[in-house]
């Protein structure tokens, strides 16, 4: 995949960067660390410049985030409530109060969460969905997304620029960090699900005292 990404940027320049970063936000497995660090390296050996690369990458990040935000709006709280009130919710022992707690939490802490999650691999893409689901104002969403992704993009582009031909090593380090983050997130998810199942099913399984 790395060679394909490198060839695509080499051929299409700023548009290639924009398109790859847009896709990276929608499909997190596409490695943004390769796109951004190589783009930074290319500013040394092509007509690409740092400002143009960062702006193209940021525009792509925002475009991809808006797509996932729209997906979140389709998964509205009301629709999720109907799902929980139906067979799926009863089968999984979800309650409407669980969804309401999650909604209140994101409504209260959503701004800072959205901004800081832009620096966390994989999560920086997925965080757009709950923002849409909880109907965060689109203007606010775009401002926070632009600010967070601009900082992330400029750091990686500058790393690739200053690393020169060693950009692949920088990309490798960041890729390792992304994999570690993914493992931690999976473990946290497993622990969270196990705790929820134990609490919810354990409670319902207890026989009532006579």
pLDDT at 176: 64
- pLDDT tens for each residue of 17-61: 899 899 888 876 666 777 788 788 788 877 888 899 999 999 999
For 20, half-sphere exposure in the C-beta direction (CA atoms, 13 angstrom radius) is 29
- pLDDT tens for each residue of 174-199: 666 556 666 665 665 566 556 555 55
- pLDDT tens for each residue of 101-136: 666 767 777 788 888 888 777 777 778 888 888 888
Instruction: Summarize the confidence of residues 67-76 as an average pLDDT.
Output: 85
Q: Are 121 and 178 in contact (CB under 8 A)?
A: yes
pLDDT at 28: 62
- Going by pLDDT thresholds of 50, 70 and 90, the confidence category of residue 66 is very high
Cβ count near 186 (within 10 Å):
10
Instruction: Summarize the confidence of residues 130-154 as an average pLDDT.
Output: 90
């Amino acid at each position: 995949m790395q060679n394909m990404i490198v060839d695509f940027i080499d051929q299409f320049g700023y548009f290639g960067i924009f398109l790859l970063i847009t896709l990276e936000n929608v499909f997190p497995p596409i490695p943004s660390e390769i796109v951004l660090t190589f783009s930074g390296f290319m500013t040394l050996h092509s007509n690409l410049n740092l400002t143009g690369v960062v702006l193209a990458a940021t525009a792509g990040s925002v475009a991809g985030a808006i797509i996932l935000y729209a997906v979140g709006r389709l998964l509205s709280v009301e629709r999720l409530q109907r799902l929980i009130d139906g067979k799926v919710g009863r089968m999984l022992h979800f309650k409407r109060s669980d969804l309401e707690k999650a909604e209140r939490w994101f409504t209260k802490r959503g701004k800072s969460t959205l901004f800081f999650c832009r620096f966390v691999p994989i999560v920086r893409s997925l965080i757009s969905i709950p923002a849409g689901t909880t109907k965060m104002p689109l203007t606010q969403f775009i401002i926070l997304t632009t600010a967070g992704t601009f900082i992330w993009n400029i750091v990686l582009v500058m790393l690739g620029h200053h690393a020169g031909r060693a950009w692949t090593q920088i990309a490798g380090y960041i890729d390792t960090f992304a994999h570690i983050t993914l493992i931690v997130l999976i473990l946290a998810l497993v622990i969270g699900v196990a705790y929820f199942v134990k609490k919810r099913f354990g409670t319902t399984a207890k026989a009532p005292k006579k």
